[in-house]
Amino acid sequence: MSRVDFSRREFLRGLGLGAVGVAVGGGGDLFAASKRAHRPNIVLIMADDMGFSDIGCYGGEIRTPNLDKLAAEGLRFTHFYNTARCCPTRASLMTGLYPHQAGVGHMTDDKGLDGYRGNLNKKCVTIAEVLNAGGYRTYMSGKWHVTRHRGPEGPKFNWPRQRGFDRFYGTIHGAGSFYDPCSLTRDNTQIAPDSDDYYYTDAITDNAVKFVAEHKAEKNDKPFFMYVAYTSPHWPMHARAEDIARYKGQYDKGWDALRAERHKRMIGMGIVDGKWELTPRDAKVPAWEDEKNKQWQVRRMEVYAAMVDCMDRGIGRIVEQLKRSGEYENTLILFLADNGGCAEEYGSRGAEKPDPSKAVELKPMSRGELQKDMRPKYTRDGRPVRTGYGVTPGPADTYIAYGKGWANASNTPFRRYKHWVHEGGISTPLIVHWPKRVKGRGELRDTPGHLIDIMATCVDVAGAEYPVEYKGEKIIPMEGKSLAYAFAGMAIVREAIYWEHEGNRAIRWDKWKLVAKNRGKWELYDMEADRTELNDLSGKHPKMVKVFTQMYEKWAKRSNVVEWGSWKNKKK
Ligand SMILES: [Ca+2]
């Protein structure tokens, strides 16, 4: 790829928008009218806690034919990055800023510092706010998770409807039962599941499909932006029995064989370079042959796969509706994950609770009663929800994670997980599909990119204006670069990409990555030679470490990042 910084004018010419499309700024009526005819719909789809190698078109054995088809007809980015965790990723994705700049440097708790308020601040705008102001209809179906106010009464100033979305169905909170999610909300009203057969992944799909269908039925002359934020395959491991059955036997081989198979396929596809060595199995994960409870472990991964499978079929239904509505050709579809595979052993350690030997009293909920707990104590029909080592996941009366061994496999061939900013925590698939404008078919793009680029891309392709001021507040300039250059096969020219989460920190500049675990020393890797981060070059290149560290410190200072935990010594 050339490293020339092409202008927007050159880019639009490359896409075939011609002379009328390139009149940027004060273009007048003729430009406005022709530009409007070209504006694409944008459908931004995100998975939750999904590893780099899980879906088929990135080397996984999980059956994802719909995502694979989008990839075959579009592009796959191989060096795309999130921010390693739910809340900061969503804050960054929505605003085009680094998470701390948007006020969500950690989760939804308020640490009394600008970068850690647990709420999107007023110095940022969401993609929905920008595109809404630019003449788009805006829809969201799925998980929000960028406010600390998740109760039914709010306050609601930072809920989707108040942050640029015309319609919203989904959850305000970040996790919950798939059969009875807490903080389930339609527009601004919290609701309970509307059927006995409720499953959140399907409900997210149903509502996304409905928004596209209604957009057509309303004969809307506006394009639309739709954000579909699935919670699949975040814990708890919940899936329908028939979906789990589709994976029966698939994982009997265990995580060691799975990692080796995926790695081989990824090399064959060009997703990873064969010269990057597969990382050793996590030291805390036993060799599969030594695992003591294989049957249970296999079941955990069968459910995980079923959750991804169900999401993929949902994406297929959204694509079908786009076709039915005649919107398919000029819709830019983007698919990514919010962080890498999750090694949290949530609900899966210790003795089973409640104690299965004791009689239980059924406590059914009334229809319409709101679920208040992230982890419900009871199913809606009154059975206690069970956690603990060995609990067979899948149904509504269980609440456990899939565990470290499988998370290690999800992030093949990389190190670490969700929370960390080594490649296993921050690497995500990014599929780009836009028949009308993206000409590459099944091609890969290796230029590094980050969540901050999604805002820039949306503003670019929608011809929208990123505001200097919004609702009387001065807005922080966006940090990202439009990926449209990469759509056309050009490299993205940028300074550097930065990360900080729970003291884990990194900087990527060109082929170099400086990365550290919380309280750990800086490690330096050459990502072209060693993306699996096995050969630390910090001792060999101390000057480079010094320069990158200075760049990191400068970024941290301007982006509201403070030393992890330092607020404990400060008065709020
Ligand atoms: Ca997540």
Q: How far is the CA of 188 from the centre of ligand 1 (A)?
A: 23
Locus of tokens 């169900």: 310
- Residue 51 alpha carbon to ligand 1 centre in Å: 10
Identify the pLDDT of residue 37.
66
Side chain identity at residue 260, one-letter code: A
Q: What is the Å distance from ligand 1's center to 83 Cα? A: 10
Query: How far, in Å, is the centroid of ligand 1 from the Cα of 231?
Result: 8
150 CA distance to ligand 1 centroid (A)? 17
Between CA 132 and CA 169 the distance in angstroms is: 17
Question: Cα(498) to centroid of ligand 1, in Å?
Answer: 19
User: For residues 136 and 224, is the Cβ–Cβ distance under 8 A?
Assistant: yes
Which two tokens mark 62? Answer: 């999980």
Does the predicted model carry a pTM greater than 0.85?
yes
pLDDT at 286 (0 to 100): 98
| Centroid of ligand 1 to alpha carbon of 58 (angstroms) | 19
383 CA → ligand 1 middle, Å = 28
Spacing, Cα 338 to ligand 1 middle (Å): 5
Which residue from 537, 517, 540, 541 is spatially nearest to 526, judged by alpha carbons? 537
Give the Cα separation of 167 and 218 in Å (integer). 14
Per the structure block, which two tokens stand in for 519? 């309280």
Question: Which pair of tokens denotes residue 119?
Answer: 């709420």
Q: How much distance in Å is there from the Cα of 234 to the middle of ligand 1?
A: 6
Region of 401 (left: φ > 0; alpha: ψ -120 to 50; beta: rest) is beta
Distance 22 CA to ligand 1 centre (A): 38
| Spacing, Cα 546 to ligand 1 middle (Å) | 32
Ligand 1 centroid distance, CA of 339 (Å): 5
pLDDT means over runs of 10, the chain (572 residues): 41 40 31 63 98 98 98 98 98 98 97 97 98 97 98 97 98 98 98 96 98 94 97 98 98 98 98 98 98 98 98 99 97 98 98 94 95 97 97 98 98 98 98 96 97 98 97 97 94 94 98 96 98 98 98 98 88 50
Q: 345 C-alpha vs ligand 1 centroid, how far in Å? A: 14
Tell how far the Cα of 172 is from the centroid of ligand 1, in angstroms: 14
Q: Ligand 1: distance of its center to the CA of 131 in Å?
A: 25
CA–CA dist 154, 18 (Å, integer):
48
Q: How far is the CA of 454 from the centre of ligand 1 (A)?
A: 17
Cα of 49 vs centre of ligand 1, distance in Å, is: 4
**What is the whole-number distance in angstroms between the Cα of residue 82 and the centre of ligand 1?**
10
Query: What does the block give as tokens for 331?
Result: 């819709």
Beta strands in 172-234 (DSSP E): 184-186, 189-190, 224-229
Name, in order, each residue with C-beta under 8 angstroms of 46's C-beta and a sequence gap of 6 or more: 93, 142, 227, 228, 229, 230, 335, 336, 337, 338
Q: Which two three-digit tokens encode residue 16? A: 């075939």
Cα separation values, 524 from 506, 538, 544, Å = 10, 5, 9
